[in-house]
Structure 1
């Protein structure tokens, strides 16, 4: 499979998105330095930096995997040309009854009809929907990667630096607490920098896996 041209498009699109998102994260990190805010306003902004940072992260996952799927679909592959995990991922997204088997005969017939249509199609188009399970935590991220037959991200990319803790127990926990109205949280500038760091690390890691996935045809049947 000659996918060199598609890899270049994929690289350019994802890299451009990462640059834009890192610029937004930098603006978020330095906002309080560029504007004169009183103590209350500064604290308010620091607290609500966490929902902003998380939205940058989840938006990246949505956009990046949609880009990956778009380029996969341009290859117009048949179902048997995909790896099993991606077949399952796509079928479960397109045929909802596979996760909740219907009891009514008419719905069973509709499910079988949809399955036959997908299986026999000349081009097995992957759904652009990215199921983030409401929060893109460490396990959710690796499950998405696994669905595309891509290498998981290890918890410890660096010594004594846990991605799972930084993402799940720090960024997501504080973001969710703030989103649910916990006004007792006091976010510091160091906290903002820490949250941004894990997002930037993960964006680069996801990019490398998607790029290598296309180069080595990981999402396709060997």
Structure 2
């Protein structure tokens, strides 16, 4: 494997370890009575653990795929050899006009000129920005995987996210429902109480997904998924 890719996977492994450490520390502070919190404080902070867990999850997605784009840039992939889905991702990120075509002639000319110069370039240079739509749901995650020409996650994933357990799609939806209830000022009391068991369920979800994403990117890199 290319040295740049090897460095990326070392960084990704460190990111997963750091994320797991932070998640475990959140659990210790709120749920283990390490700091002798009152019942009232536990009730308040336990709800916030879901928002914190989600922040770690979305941050992981942003960091992982941004770092991967930077790594792909270092490979100096010829434009003509790059996987089509990555080219489309790049063009839509670089040229917003594809989604909102300009009406003024001067802006159309500028768009065409920039686009022509872009296609005359020998190498592709990805923007390191990844759109998570501020809600990394099952659908958004698989959209990102598809944009990167990576294997998508199935609704029924392994033994833990299969009958009789909730599917991966269902588990991610309930995770987002909890998070959005907190983040958007909804009626938190209408949700199930966030116990350590509930937290551990979503903790496992996030950690499983982190390792799953690592495995899928690694497999893709081995197969040089970024090439046609």
Q: Which range, TM-score by smaller chain?
A: over 0.9
| Aligned equivalent of 1:167, options 172, 177, 180 | 172
Q: Which segments of 5 or more consecutive residues in structure 2 lack a partner in the other structure?
A: none
Of 183-192 and 146-155, more deviation after overlay is shown by 183-192
| CA positional deviation for 1:172 | 0.6
C-alpha distance in structure 2 between counterparts of 1:11 and 1:201, whole Å: 17
| CA positional deviation for 1:81 | 1.3
C-alpha distance in structure 2 between counterparts of 1:191 and 1:139, whole Å: 23
For each residue in 1:70-109, what CA deviation from the matched residue of structure 2 results, as whole angstroms up to 9, or x when unmatched?
Answer: 1100011221111111100000000001011111111111
**1:127-142 equivalences in 2 (<5 Å):** 127-142=127-142
Aligned to 1:74: 74
| CA positional deviation for 1:110 | 1.4
* Contact in 2 for aligned 1:57/1:199 (Cα 8 Å): yes
* Contact in 1 for aligned 2:4/2:75 (Cα 8 Å): no
| CA positional deviation for 1:197 | 0.9
TM-score by length of 2: 0.92
Aligned to 2:201: 194
C-alpha distance in structure 2 between counterparts of 1:83 and 1:183, whole Å: 44
Give 3-state SS (helix, strand or coil) of 1:136's partner: coil
Aligned to 1:213: 220
Paired residues, number: 218
Structure 1 stretches of 4+ with a deviation exceeding 6 A read none
Q: Which segments of 5 or more consecutive residues in structure 1 lack a partner in the other structure?
A: none
For each residue in 1:102-148, what CA deviation from the matched residue of structure 2 results, as whole angstroms up to 9, or x when unmatched?
Answer: 11111111111221122111221011110111211101101101111
Q: Does 1:23 align with 2:21?
A: yes
| CA positional deviation for 1:6 | 2.3
C-alpha distance in structure 1 between counterparts of 2:130 and 2:171, whole Å: 22
C-alpha distance in structure 2 between counterparts of 1:156 and 1:30, whole Å: 31
Give 3-state SS (helix, strand or coil) of 2:129's partner: coil
C-alpha distance in structure 1 between counterparts of 2:112 and 2:22, whole Å: 46
Q: Does 1:41 align with 2:41?
A: yes
CA RMSD of aligned residues (A): 1.2
* Contact in 2 for aligned 1:94/1:127 (Cα 8 Å): yes
| CA positional deviation for 1:45 | 0.9
